[in-house]
Amino acid sequence: MPAPGRRGPVLAAGRRDDAGHLYQRDFLGPRDRELVLAWLSGLEPLWEERFSEHFPPPPGQAQRRLLRPVWWLGNWQFACLGYYRPPRGTRDRCVRAEPFPDVLARLVARIERLVHARFAPRDVPAGWRLNTCLVNLYGNRLEDGCEVDAARVGEHRDFEPGPVASLSIGERALLQFVTPSRAGERGRVALEQWLDDGSLQVFGGERFKDRLFHRVQRVDRRGGFDLPPAMADFRTRRVNFTFRWVPDRHVVRFRDLGPEARADVRGYVERLARTSPHFRQELEAERRRGADGGPASQRP
Ligand SMILES: O=C(O)CCC(=O)C(=O)O
């Protein structure tokens, strides 16, 4: 267990109770790091809007773009359809996406072994495997010639069942686990962890997954990182890969989404299809079904 301090987890009131939280600073070797960066160079991440025609903003809220561009592997959870949130929020939320590239598939196999060795069996649900990845790009957006820092994430929980694993590249980031706060109040920090370049963090169990929220408080600038992919309106200084599990029965093909959900994400899927053979095939499968007069929607 690392000593508390700059590199290890810092716990509120000096408590040493980090069962359910694991941190390995040097998880990613140099060769795999190169392969991950090469894979990132070929991406055209999507910068999604929070709402859509059929899922409009609630009264008093305006349409807005997400803070950062993202990419998903395994399944894509479009912000406008709502993120996966069992038991009720499972339908039309997880759209089958590209599989993991080889380098990430190998890293995931290592992480799964680590989880089975280090986490209590009660915290690893039957069938758990890391089949979903959210790739978050942290940095500055370029607005009217100015750079605006967008490198943070507000407090939230990840609702996919079982442990969640997070691999970081680039500038270190301060991640905090906090107690739930009421509107206008700040949550109490229960544990904070600097996530270094090449590090792995895994958290699971009742405390870290079900009770505490987590947030990215800030991302450093001292390393001078400028990471791929090159984008016209965003400079990336940190990339985080968050691996999760969505049971297969909740992952739906684009063509099998309900008509409203399909209409709302069609533009995104068309953009993804510009660089992704998977999404090109999914568009074609949907077109063929329409041409064959098949059912407009098949739901699980
Ligand atoms: O960037 C990170 O380290 C955390 C990302 C995160 O909280 C999430 O993707 O849910």
The encoded tokens of residue 203 equal 């958290």
What phi, psi does 297 have (nearest 5°)? -150, 135
- Parse the chain into domains and list their residue ranges: 10-291
Q: What is the position in ligand 1's atom list of the atom closest to the CA of 173?
A: 3
Q: What is the position in ligand 1's atom list of the atom closest to the CA of 215?
A: 7
Q: Is this model's pTM higher than 0.75 or not?
A: yes
Backbone angle region of 74, left / alpha / beta, with phi > 0 → left and psi within -120 to 50 → alpha: left
- Per-residue pLDDT of the chain in tens (300 residues, 90 and over written 9): 344 334 455 544 334 347 899 999 999 999 999 999 999 999 999 999 999 999 999 999 999 999 999 999 999 999 999 999 999 999 999 999 999 999 999 999 999 999 999 999 999 999 999 999 999 999 999 999 899 999 999 999 999 999 999 999 999 999 999 998 777 777 899 999 999 999 999 999 999 999 999 999 999 999 999 999 999 999 999 999 999 999 999 999 999 999 999 999 999 999 999 999 999 999 999 999 877 765 544 433
Is residue 153 within 6 Å of ligand 1 at its C-beta? yes
- 3-state DSSP: the chain helix, strand, coil percent, rounded to 5? 25, 30, 45
Name the residue of 72, 136, 155, 203 to mutate for ligand 1: max ligand atoms within 8 A of Cβ.
136
Give the integer Cα–Cα distance in Å for 171 and 6: 15
Three-state DSSP at 42 gives coil
CATH superfamily, domain at 10-291: Alpha-ketoglutarate-dependent dioxygenase AlkB-like (2.60.120.590)
Name the residue of 71, 209, 240, 245 to mutate for ligand 1: max ligand atoms within 8 A of Cβ.
240
| Ligand 1 mean position, distance from CA 267 (Å) | 26
Is residue 199 within 6 Å of ligand 1 at its C-beta? no
Give the integer Cα–Cα distance in Å for 229 and 235: 9
Pick the closest to residue 47 from 295, 256, 284, 231 (CA basis).
231
Rounded alpha-carbon distances, angstroms, from residue 34 to 25, 41, 106, 236 = 17, 11, 14, 16
Minimal-distance CA residue to ligand 1 atom 4? 216
Question: By the 8 A CB rule, do 85 and 157 touch?
Answer: no
Other Cβ atoms closer than 10 A to 125: 13
What is the amino acid identity at position 119? F
